[in-house]
Structure 1
Amino acid sequence: MSSDFAQSAAATPEASPTRQGIARAAALFERMDPAEAVRTLEPVLAADPSSVEAWLLMARLRLALGENQPALEAANKAIALAPEDPRGPATASRALSLLGRHDDAVSMAYRAVIADPKNPLWHDRVAWALLTADRQFADAEQAARTAIGLDPNEAHYYFTHGLALDALGHIDQARRALLTSLRMEPDNPAAQHRLAVLNGEAVREAAPKKRGFKLFGRKKD
């Protein structure tokens, strides 16, 4: 979460101006004020353009504001500074999906997995990149299943799995996955709606997979 940035930036009593600025911007993000967080972070990056954490946070702030191209540019800055860090490619993948550049989005998502294959967040990002591209649903289902195997206690991964199973036409399995997600997180309106669609109680949206989705799953969103 954005609190991760705040906690790491404020970890020492004599934090650098860069870390202090990141912590202030992250706190604003926590308070659901991404626009003010951007304004706070911009002078930090102007003074210290080599901060990977600042560029990653800026990319997430831009995504929250719907500014997908600037988000991609910020993520690419982070990737250039720390090519081994999976967060940069994963964030870039989200921006690329929203920009309709699906081949690049899938490639970046797999790059994050290669960098850190034991983290379920990146497998979930692969699944969403494929689902948003409306293709390779079997690969999306496998990626979602892998995320569940790595973290079976996260409701969001069962939600992703349910969407992938639905895309494959496995309606009964999709229903079970969504029910599992809702048992773990009963108040999730997206899961409630998708289950209602499968049960014939709601109308399927024209393009449900093109709409909002998690960046890194619920735990790190």
Structure 2
Amino acid sequence: MTSPTVPLPTDPTELGIARAAAYFERFEPEKAASTLEPVLSADPRSAAGWLLLARVRLTLDQSEAALDAANRAIELLPEDPRPLATASRALTMMGRHDEAITMAYRAVITEPENPFWHDRVAWALLAADRHLADAEQAARTAVGLDPNEAHYYFTHGVALDALGHIDQARQALLISLRLEPENPVAQHRLATLDGSARDDAPAEKKRGWSLFKRKKD
């Protein structure tokens, strides 16, 4: 039995966004961005286009451009948590931690049952190196909402490590690796806790953003 054919979008804006999304899924963010730019120039009211562009700009480490695109999406989708969380990530990358934390909490308030936004709160707080107990609580909430997602245990492990709860951090990382055994970041973090690897950064710098930056957000 053949699968039903999915009709292609016919609207120029939708078609352009679909093409950009395909490039993005193939790990070609530059092509995705160049495809989206004329689409949004012709149709600046496309919230989906701005949201995708914000994600693409983040992948390209273009934080200011990502924030601008996310803010355009927020104007068009004021009740949607996705552009809020994307803006939070961009603000974290720019070192604007207070704003990043506020945006992350706004996403949680908008959709409190989504673990992804609690995870964003945790990383925003960890990157700011403040309110670490709140970061641990946010990470724990994400785990409770989705106990089958390896990344949330990883975040929880990082937060517990930041608080100095080494044994608990090790347990969280072990669960993360049980769910996702080939994750090299979690492997390295666990090895560091076990004393078989060493970070190059001085001890007082170990909670810096460089240790928290990740691909999946």
Cα contact 1:158–1:181 (8 A) shared by 2:
yes
8 Å Cα contact 1:124-1:160 kept in structure 2: yes
Q: In structure 2, what is the Cα distance between the partners aligned to 1:15 and 1:144? A: 42
Q: What RMSD, in angstroms, separates the aligned Cα atoms of the two structures?
A: 1.5
Q: Which has the higher contact order (CA 8 A, sep 6+)?
A: 1
Residue in 2 that maps onto 1:159: 154
Q: TM-score normalised to the size of structure 1? A: 0.90
**1:213 shift after superposition:** 2.0
Matched residue, 1:118: 113
Inter-CA distance 69–11: structure 2 relative to 1 (3 Å threshold): farther
* Distance in 1 between residues matched to 2:141 and 2:72, nearest whole Å: 29
Instruction: Classify 1:215/1:14 alpha carbon distance in 2 versus 1 (closer, same or farther; 3 Å).
Output: closer
1:140-219 alignment runs, 5 A limit: 140-206=135-201, 207=206, 209-211=208-210, 212-214=213-215, 216=217
TM-score normalised by length of structure 2:
0.92
1:147 is paired with a residue of what secondary structure?
helix
Tell me which of 48, 51, 60 is aligned to 2:55.
60
Query: In structure 1, what residue type is equivalent to 2:194?
Result: N
Cα distance, 1:96–1:215 mapped onto 2, change above 3 Å = farther
Match of 1:6 in 2: none
- 1:16 CA drift (Å): 1.4
Percent of residue pairs bearing the same amino acid type:
66
Contact kept in structure 2, 1:148 and 1:158, CA below 8 Å: yes
- Which one-letter code corresponds to 1:140 in the other structure? A
CA contact (8 A) 1:166 1:174 kept: yes
Equivalent residue letter for 2:214? F
What one-letter code is carried by the residue in structure 2 that aligns with 1:124? D
Is the contact between residue 91 and residue 215 of structure 1 (CA under 8 Å) also seen in structure 2? no
User: 1:7: which partner in 2?
Assistant: none
Asked if the contact 1:68/1:98 (under 8 Å) is kept, the reply is: yes
Q: Which runs of 4+ in 1 moved over 6 A?
A: none
Q: How far off is 1:128 after superposition?
A: 0.3
Runs of 5+ unmatched residues, structure 2: none
Deviation at 1:204, TM superposition (A): 2.6
Matched, 1:23 2:18: yes
Aligned equivalents of 2:84, 2:8: Cα separation in 1: 31
The residue correspondences of 1:8-157 to structure 2 (distance < 5 A) are 12-157=7-152
Cα distance in 1 for partners of 2:178, 2:140 equals: 18
Cα deviation digits, residues 129-186 of structure 1 (max 9, x gap): 0000011110000000100111000000000000000000000000000000000000
Tell me, in whole angstroms, the C-alpha distance in 1 between the residues paired with 2:160 and 2:75. 36
Counterparts of 1:205 and 1:78 in 2: how far apart (Å)?
39
CA distance in 1, matches of 2:216, 2:182: 19
Equivalent-residue separation in structure 2 for 1:157 and 1:66 (angstroms)? 23
- Contact between 1:102 and 1:133, CA under 8 Å: does it hold in 2? yes
What residue ranges of structure 1 are gaps of 5+ in the alignment? 1-9, 217-221
Query: Structure 2 CA distance, aligned partners of 1:13 and 1:54?
Result: 17
How far the C-alpha of 1:15 sits from its partner, in A, is 3.5
User: Larger C-alpha radius of gyration, 1 or 2?
Assistant: 2
